[in-house]
Structure 1
Amino acid sequence: MKKIIFTFLALTTIAFSSCNDNFMERYPTTSLTETTVFGSYNTFKTYSWGLYSVFTNGNLLRRPGTGGSYASALSYQGDINAGYLMRREGGGNSYAFQNISSASSGNGWNFDYIRSVNVMLNNIDNSTMTDTEKEHWRSVGYFFRGYYYAELIARFGDVPWVNKVIGDTDKEIAYGPRTPRKTVADNVLNDLIYAEEHIKEKGDGENTINVHAVRALLSRFCLFEGSWRKYHNLGDYDNYFDACITYSEKLMKSFPTLHGDFGEMLTSDLKGVEGVILYKEYVAKEMTNYVLTHVERTSTHNVEMPQHIVDLYLCKDGKPISTSSQYEWGKTDKTMNSTFRNRDFRLLETVAPPYKVIPSTDNTSWKYTEDEADKEFMDIMGITRYTGYGGGVGEAGKHKVFPLMNWSAAILKQVPHFFTNNGGQGFIVAKSGNYVYRYYNVWDDSKENQGTSDVPIFKMDEILLNEAEAKFEKGAFNQEVADATINKLRKRAKIADMQVSDINANFDPERLDKAIDPVLWEIRRERIIELMGEGFGFYDVRRWKKADLFVNHVQYGQWATKTQIGTGTFVDLQTGYADATGKTEGYIYMYNDPVKAGKGWLDKYYLYQVPTNEIALNPNLAPNNPGWE
């Protein structure tokens, strides 16, 4: 199949029911009913195309490749919620400043998609398919239902388990209580294990649900559920870590090689790319265009990285900035150049590195300045050629291009670019100086807002990190595991291997989380950095039960001078507020320290609120989640 189009076909818009209310039980062959739709293998396949909509479903927090409205970036939202990233404007992290409103409806409490899957599952046994074909489609259905239930569990904990189409007589289900989390999660696990054993190995064509996609979901879901159970003191977690390891290792055997370029994983076509298991494919001039690659080249993109998260990135010698001799900031100067020099290459691919050029009068061409420091990171990135209005080429032809350009190919003369209309340039602005541009590329037809770079749904980068973390949780993480997982990622990031024997309390005395084992912290650090910008953060900090640590941290920008930031100000890290002394340089003030402002993360945020309207309709859903009663 050339493209997966995540829209329901006309077949899937039929209002299927669990019973036949017609006075005759004969169905014309031209009518779209359950009996005529679900007759053969091909009709099941046709129906299933609509189920792929789960990957951009509005009820899921992590929607790979979802750009949202023109001025938003929903692919980043999970990492914004986690405190890994921030918005340039908007009052700060909503969880840090307790701006999460009570929900009367919505909030992700929606079972329409579950019903769509159950309609398909309900009709398998009555079809004309062979037993093997029935097993395959049951497996596909279990995958989609499991994918959606994984989100419901992550949000609400206890949720109704619905494994059939609910009819008028099923009031005990429709108006029953929530099913305990453990039961629902175990049901999902069992369904996915069945699917892994019975699905067609290659699925139904290129880039469709196959045995590898099922294993990837098992890896992701089992790590989440195992660590949630462990750190939220629910018990019974070892079998989930075991399952995560089992299916991760199967994938590691099937996908032994990673694509060699970290940046291209979110900025290129992914067909045939090593290490990609399933991806969201975008097509020019179709309903599947991806807006974010356009937005990141405009004035509306407002996603930035707090400086303390920049500081998480290791140096090229594999050591943190607190102990690495390669960290340059403060030794000769306090510029962005010295902050980014000798760092993990993934930092440069995630946050726009510093440079400066001299653009032509019409901003369509440029030349270097006489200062070698201004071209330092353009040379490091190795991509300095561009062509054409609204487009460009790098050495790989599908990557970032320097200098940066807006949607109409106007040259951005410098990074950092602290405020709008700096020298007449109102685009690609970062108040903090740390402009996040993970999805930026110039080979899309950005002028026409035709974003066509693909976005991974499952890839081996995540699987390797799942394996490393699950192995640690089982007490089995060692140098061999590090070499098979984290160090494969580090080679691509151009930094030294993790040496497990070197990691102790003194490896990073300034690490953010001093309450956990230093090796576990390094594993988590690697996950944060590798998956930055892909929306995993809010799931991770909640399953680790560490949301307060990340969300409550005061967010501020890079070190700068008053001349650079104009009317901006600096933060006083002692008070947690904007500096009132009139200093002429410092870390850029973004938002108050939420804890010192009397706010901060509330434990009730670990689980979402069941909408009050749902409880009013079905009182058996009560009590609500803790803190939301």
Structure 2
Amino acid sequence: MKKIIGKYMLAGMVALTMTACNDSFLDRTPTNDLNDVAFWKSQSDLEAYTNGIYNEAANNGTYKFMVGFHSDAYSVKVVGPYSMEAMSDNFATMDGSQTWASAVAAGIENQPSGNPNYGSWSWGLLRRINVFLNNYERATGVSEVVRNQYAGEALFFRAWFYLYMVQTYGDVPLILKPLDTNSEELDAGRNSRKEVMQQVLKDINDACSYLPAENWGANRLTKGAALALKARIGLYEGTYRKYHNLGDETEFLNACVSACEELMGMGYEIYDTGNPDKDYTALFTTEDLGTNKEVIFYRKYSEGLKRHRICGYAVNLRNGGTKDFVDDFLCVDADGAARPVGLSHDYSNDTPEEEFTNRDPRLSQTFLAPGNAAAAALFEDAANAKRTFPRIGNMNGWPTLTGYHPIKYYIREQDKKGFNAETHDYPLFRYAEVLLNYAEAKAELGACDQAVLDKTINILRDRVNMPHLSVNPEMDPKYASYGISSLLVEIRRERRVELSFEYLRYQDLMRWAWGDKLKERVLGMRLEDADFADPRYEGAITKGGSEDAGNNPVFVFKAADGKQYIDAYENTNYATARRSFDPNKDYLRPIPSSVISKNLNLGQNPGWPDGQKKD
């Protein structure tokens, strides 16, 4: 029922011909097609060609929709789970390799001349797919059922590619055939978002009908993965249309619901061994996800295949979670009820240790719980296990920007392997997302009752031993002015907590039209003036603005609650005074100027410079 992504190796003539394919056909690079009569005959031909599609889609140096732990060890810190989260309100970073994401979140990035870190105007994958779809039926010696299974793979990737392009750029050229250097489409403009997403829905529906439910070959896509992508597509486009006033959202929301309902009858289940303090962590630190029934589609890493360095970079970069995110983890009060921090009877952040006490267990499985015991348990025999956490400012040994140390994906055994040697797998689609998609789509359609919550949100809460959600929760004062129901608030909270650092939060903000959240001051852990002399900080932190601030001073801000918190970006390019979000511009990314200069008919997204030289 699941599919893993590895690095397929093609041999002989097929590999040589495919690598000659045009990787940027809209930029008019000459290319050769696989149209000769010697090919497209056998099942092995179809398999070899579609293996190349997998390869191309997994090329994270070009495409950013199937990133995982990236396709090379260094780049996981540049474009990986942590840096991509810094585009959102969940994470802050001042590491030089990741500040492109800080700039996106702050609304101050410049229009790129070429492909930026967060997007890609690259079309080589689409061309590979279209060449296949234009030729696969020529393999007449292969049964129609088998031919269609390979076509299902190609359609799956075309749907995912175009979802990514629409999320990034809105209107884009819709190309359904392989082009050559004389094709008139090279000078065409962009198709409307509506037209493109209708094709995306058609492609993923066809992929769902073509792909088998059971495993049908080593490392091949299955129907479960196609349905999971369909659910993601339906929820994204349905809510984007609703909250951006585009209309026609019901068709996509219903597509999400139908995909989820089918998946919910296919035997997937939430990974739960009855250990609420470790089961969530295990999903992201397991060497081999091949037998995990929650994981629908994952990226495989192993010796001799692909390796990464997520753990090493997790503990060595100047970044950290945000207070806004940490505040969204519920508190479990003495009366047994789960409440937001703004409603909790027992919540306290007087010390870092208290802040992590009696919280949703996913908090201490996403960020390191302060205290030597927690550090020792995580680091085992590492030098860091002897240190006091949190670590900020100039403190030696894993200092963080905000006080909240990221540990999701971290496992000491992998870290000890060193650079380009870590091999635990990355889940690209998991059943938890399906359940969250279903609950949200049903709520958006006005059909989320207690039965829906009990088979979605509450199953996830059971894994971490959290009290159940009911259909009429008390409104969190933090979200009272957002214009949505308290039920939707809690469903969105659950999504934020469960799916953090999985490449979803930024696009969630975009589809909900919550871009204004990115303008807010980015705060970290509570840090009062007296704390600067606290022995736990080894005298290594100095207050920003003081005469002896030194290197990497820690700036603080007094919030509305009268308490003082780390101000992550004060005195930087991403400080509050410089942050902006223009709703007429920043929900879409700019098309690179070098692309527009080659085809003026593409135009530019609203608010961005068109890149053309003026007379």
So what's the TM-score if we normalise by structure 1?
Answer: 0.81
- In the aligned structure 1, how far is the partner of 2:469 from the partner of 2:506? 26
Native 8 Å contact 2:557 2:565 kept in 1: no
Candidates 342, 348, 369, aligned match of 1:328: 348
Candidates 402, 415, 423, aligned match of 2:378: 402
Candidates 494, 500, 503, aligned match of 1:535: 503
Native 8 Å contact 1:6 1:50 kept in 2: no
- In the aligned structure 2, how far is the partner of 1:512 from the partner of 1:577? 29
Native 8 Å contact 1:569 1:588 kept in 2: no
Native 8 Å contact 2:42 2:142 kept in 1: yes
- In the aligned structure 2, how far is the partner of 1:182 from the partner of 1:13? 37
Candidates 118, 133, 141, aligned match of 1:121: 133
Question: Is 1:453 aligned to 2:473, yes or no?
Answer: no
What's the counterpart of residue 217 of structure 1?
229
- SS at structure 2 position matched to 1:94: helix
Of 257-266 and 317-326, more deviation after overlay is shown by: 317-326
Native 8 Å contact 2:92 2:321 kept in 1: yes
Deviation at 1:34, TM superposition (A): 4.4
What's the counterpart of residue 276 of structure 2?
none
Aligned AA for 1:616?
A: S
Aligned AA for 2:347?
A: Y
Aligned AA for 1:514?
A: Y
Equivalent positions of 1:12-411 (< 5 A) are: 12-14=15-17, 34-53=36-55, 54-62=57-65, 63-66=67-70, 68-69=74-75, 72=78, 74-89=80-95, 93-107=102-116, 108-127=120-139, 128-171=141-184, 173-260=185-272, 261-268=279-286, 269-284=288-303, 286-297=304-315, 300-316=316-332, 317-329=337-349, 334-356=350-372, 375=373, 377=374, 401-403=377-379, 406=382, 411=385
Question: Is 1:430 aligned to 2:400, yes or no?
Answer: yes
- SS at structure 2 position matched to 1:163: coil
- In the aligned structure 1, how far is the partner of 2:151 from the partner of 2:408? 37
Residues 313 and 559 of structure 1, relative CA distance in 2, 3 Å threshold: same
Residues 437 and 168 of structure 1, relative CA distance in 2, 3 Å threshold: same
What's the counterpart of residue 21 of structure 1?
none
Deviation at 1:165, TM superposition (A): 0.9
Question: Is 1:500 aligned to 2:471, yes or no?
Answer: yes
Aligned AA for 1:145?
A: R
Question: Is 1:552 aligned to 2:532, yes or no?
Answer: no
What's the counterpart of residue 6 of structure 2?
5
What's the counterpart of residue 366 of structure 1?
none
What's the counterpart of residue 363 of structure 1?
none
What's the counterpart of residue 361 of structure 1?
none
- In the aligned structure 2, how far is the partner of 1:219 from the partner of 1:525? 19
- SS at structure 1 position matched to 2:479: coil
- In the aligned structure 1, how far is the partner of 2:545 from the partner of 2:499? 29
- In the aligned structure 2, how far is the partner of 1:571 from the partner of 1:542? 35
Deviation at 1:411, TM superposition (A): 3.4
- SS at structure 1 position matched to 2:566: strand
Residues 571 and 557 of structure 1, relative CA distance in 2, 3 Å threshold: farther
- SS at structure 2 position matched to 1:468: helix
Question: Is 1:563 aligned to 2:498, yes or no?
Answer: no
Of 5-14 and 205-214, more deviation after overlay is shown by: 5-14
Residues 403 and 442 of structure 1, relative CA distance in 2, 3 Å threshold: closer
Deviation at 1:405, TM superposition (A): 5.9
Deviation at 1:154, TM superposition (A): 0.6
Candidates 560, 576, 597, aligned match of 1:616: 597
What's the counterpart of residue 28 of structure 2?
none
Residues 500 and 122 of structure 1, relative CA distance in 2, 3 Å threshold: same
- In the aligned structure 2, how far is the partner of 1:452 from the partner of 1:328? 39
Residues 355 and 512 of structure 1, relative CA distance in 2, 3 Å threshold: farther
- In the aligned structure 1, how far is the partner of 2:580 from the partner of 2:313? 31
Aligned AA for 1:131?
A: E
Native 8 Å contact 1:86 1:303 kept in 2: yes
- SS at structure 2 position matched to 1:490: helix
Residues 55 and 524 of structure 1, relative CA distance in 2, 3 Å threshold: farther
Aligned AA for 2:265?
A: K
Residues 570 and 432 of structure 1, relative CA distance in 2, 3 Å threshold: farther
What's the counterpart of residue 396 of structure 1?
none
Deviation at 1:577, TM superposition (A): 7.5
Question: After superposition, what is the alpha-carbon deviation per residue over 1:88-130, rounded to whole angstroms, capped at 9, x for unaligned?
Answer: 4557931354331112222411111100111222221211322
- In the aligned structure 2, how far is the partner of 1:60 from the partner of 1:225? 20
- In the aligned structure 2, how far is the partner of 1:487 from the partner of 1:181? 35
Question: After superposition, what is the alpha-carbon deviation per residue over 1:55-109, rounded to whole angstroms, capped at 9, x for unaligned?
Answer: 4533444522226437546222332101211114557931354331112222411
- In the aligned structure 1, how far is the partner of 2:429 from the partner of 2:576? 40
Residues 101 and 627 of structure 1, relative CA distance in 2, 3 Å threshold: closer
Alpha-carbon RMSD across the aligned residues, in angstroms, is 2.9
Native 8 Å contact 2:569 2:575 kept in 1: no
What's the counterpart of residue 602 of structure 1?
582
Question: After superposition, what is the alpha-carbon deviation per residue over 1:526-579, rounded to whole angstroms, capped at 9, x for unaligned?
Answer: 111101111211111011110112x1121122123112454333799xxx9756
What's the counterpart of residue 564 of structure 2?
586
- SS at structure 1 position matched to 2:297: strand
Structure 1 residue runs without a partner (length 5+) = 19-30, 357-374, 379-383, 385-400
Deviation at 1:219, TM superposition (A): 0.5
Of 46-55 and 272-281, more deviation after overlay is shown by: 46-55
Residues 2 and 230 of structure 1, relative CA distance in 2, 3 Å threshold: closer
- In the aligned structure 1, how far is the partner of 2:42 from the partner of 2:145? 13
Aligned AA for 1:478?
A: D
What's the counterpart of residue 388 of structure 1?
none
Native 8 Å contact 2:92 2:402 kept in 1: no
Native 8 Å contact 1:8 1:51 kept in 2: no
Deviation at 1:249, TM superposition (A): 1.1
- In the aligned structure 2, how far is the partner of 1:118 from the partner of 1:412? 56
- In the aligned structure 1, how far is the partner of 2:3 from the partner of 2:156? 21
Native 8 Å contact 1:73 1:301 kept in 2: no
Residues 592 and 205 of structure 1, relative CA distance in 2, 3 Å threshold: same
- SS at structure 1 position matched to 2:103: coil
Deviation at 1:472, TM superposition (A): 0.8
What's the counterpart of residue 443 of structure 1?
413
How many pairs were matched up?
552
- In the aligned structure 2, how far is the partner of 1:133 from the partner of 1:215? 19
Deviation at 1:205, TM superposition (A): 2.5
- SS at structure 2 position matched to 1:558: strand
Question: After superposition, what is the alpha-carbon deviation per residue over 1:237-272, rounded to whole angstroms, capped at 9, x for unaligned?
Answer: 100000000001111111352111111111002111
Aligned AA for 2:467?
A: A
